[in-house]
Amino acid sequence: MQNAVDPALAQEFVSFAVQAGVLRFGEFKTKAGRLSPYFFNAGLFDDGAKLGRLAEFYARRLLTDGAQRIEFDMIFGPAYKGITLAAALAVELARRGRNVPYAYNRKEAKDHGEGGSLVGARVAGRVLIVDDVISAGTSVRESIAMIGAAGGQPCGVVIALDRQERATEGGRDVPWSAVQYVARELQLSVAAIATLDDLLVYLSHTADPSLAAFAAPVQAYRDRYGV
């Protein structure tokens, strides 16, 4: 199940991502070999102020009241980007009065000290996976396996941006996105702070002509590769 996006929160987030230089425009080659007129690089939330603001958006998205709210007991951040996101989100949730444990994985298991591939709190209860985007669903599938093996129950995924873009399998486009795959096939709720459609709304209303010029290319990309 894909949880509905809050339009006001989404526009606020897109504006922040553009101003922070995390959402960029031009010509970028994606992993699927497509030429995209925009690029979202969450690795550029690279200082305390930007990371703290990003955590606020995640927390506000998760704490929104409504029937589609994801209920969770702890947070899991898949290596590598998810580690920082999970830690920052846990801090922000605690600041807002919701103190929850978090854990993350190592890429290689440790054979000394505490050992194993998981670090942080004991994985138990309803576990929410936090990441920047879902590109192919591989990270989510790996997280599900680790969480289940540790005794937890994956309950959902929260991401910053849903690119609403057709996934590829075996070098071919398929008629669903990675987010749709996770929601439908893996039966996990997916909540995004914003979507590509929200970015298009932002570009169509911006007063900055240098940004408005990308509305048509992004729309054309959405028309060609979108779901």
205 is catalytic: no
Q: What pLDDT, on a 0 to 100 scale, did the predictor assign at position 67? A: 59
pTM confidence score? 0.93
DSSP per residue, the chain = -BPPP-HHHHHHHHHHHHHTTSEEEEEEE-TTS-EEEEEE-GGG--SHHHHHHHHHHHHHHHH--STTPPP-SEEEE-TTHHHHHHHHHHHHHHHTT----EEEEEEEEE-STT-EEEEESPP-EEEEEE-S--SSSHHHHHHHHHHHHHTEEEEEEEEEEE--BEEEETTEEEEEEHHHHHHHTS--EEEEEEEHHHHHHHHHH-S-HHHHTTHHHHHHHHHHHB-
What is the pLDDT, as a whole number, of residue 61?
Answer: 95
Q: Of 31, 107, 110, 205, which is the active-site residue? A: 110
pLDDT in tens, 51-89: 999 999 999 999 986 657 899 999 999 998 999 999 999
Chunked mean pLDDT (size 10), the chain, 227 residues: 82 98 96 92 96 98 81 96 96 97 83 70 97 88 95 97 90 89 92 97 97 98 95
Output the pLDDT for position 195.
97
Percent of the chain with pLDDT over 90: 81
Q: Among 3.40.50.2020, 1.20.140.10, 2.10.70.10, 3.40.980.10, name the CATH number for the domain at 7-225.
A: 3.40.50.2020
Choosing from 29, 50, 112, 205, the catalytic residue is 112
Is 50 part of the annotated catalytic residue set? no
